[in-house]
Structure 1
Amino acid sequence: WLSSRGQTSPAPQITTADIAAARATRKSAGMVALEREELDHKSPLP
């Protein structure tokens, strides 16, 4: 639902299988923090 509200056309379709695959590999809190830091360097929020 949320992806269809954005400006990307056509909106990406995210399935339950996509979500399950993304959650299959557990990440530690440190890995999540590092990933967020890397994303912030690539496209910082205003």
Structure 2
Amino acid sequence: MNVNSAARSNRNTRHVSFSHSSHAQLTSLFYFEREEKSRRDSAES
């Protein structure tokens, strides 16, 4: 019983941390793209 619940909570924790890291990667990638675009725009003008 205890082993089952421990395994289940461990799986949930791993899933949450995975989702969070994926979201963080997407967010940082989005900001990086935006920074690059603004840098290019200012260089052209």
Do these two structures clear the TM 0.5 threshold for a shared fold by scoring above it? Answer: no
Kindly indicate whether structure 1 or structure 2 has the higher relative contact order, using CA contacts under 8 Å at least 6 residues apart. 1
Q: How would you bin the TM-score normalised by the shorter chain?
A: 0.3 to 0.5
TM-score by length of 1: 0.35
Q: Going by fraction, where is helix more abundant, 1 or 2?
A: 2
Q: Which has the larger radius of gyration?
A: 2
TM-score, normalised to structure 2's length?
A: 0.36
